Amino acid sequence: MSELPVINEAVFGFDARGVAKRFRHAAIFGALESLDDGETMRFVNDHDPLPLLNQIQQRYGNQVGIKYVAREPGNIVIDFSIQLGAQEQAPAQYGAQEGSCGGGGGGCGCSGGR
């Protein structure tokens, strides 16, 4: 797995393509929870993880901001920013709850067979 460089002091790279699919969601949640207020994780993946985005919104609410940097087939880049002072609002829905990125111990099928 190639390691993404630190983009600046407050933006850290996370390349999900190199993480075994059964550990992917746990690794992403662990990485998010290791960030401090104001820091950002730049997430790179080969597919759009819509169910994962819903899980993040349900788990963290507005304390994790989600912003697409790139959203093209085979090249998804998302900045997850920690904003601990954000007020709680109803979480946004990013896609269907069923299907690929289910997590929850059943294995994430979103890795395209990796």
Enumerate domains of the chain plus CATH numbers.
11-85+92-111 (3.30.110.40)
Calculate mean pLDDT across residues 37-66.
96
Measure Cα distances from 57 to 8, 39, 45, 46, 95 in Å.
25, 17, 18, 21, 12
The token duo for 38 is: 């104001």
Give per-residue pLDDT as tens, 21-37: 999 999 999 999 999 99
* Mean pLDDT (whole number) for 10-30: 94
How confident is the model at residue 88, as a pLDDT? Answer: 59
Token pair recorded at residue 85: 């002072």
User: Once rounded to an integer, what is the mean pLDDT over residues 106-110?
Assistant: 38
Using pLDDT thresholds of 50, 70 and 90, give the confidence band for residue 95.
low
- The yes-or-no verdict on residue 38 having pLDDT over 70 is yes
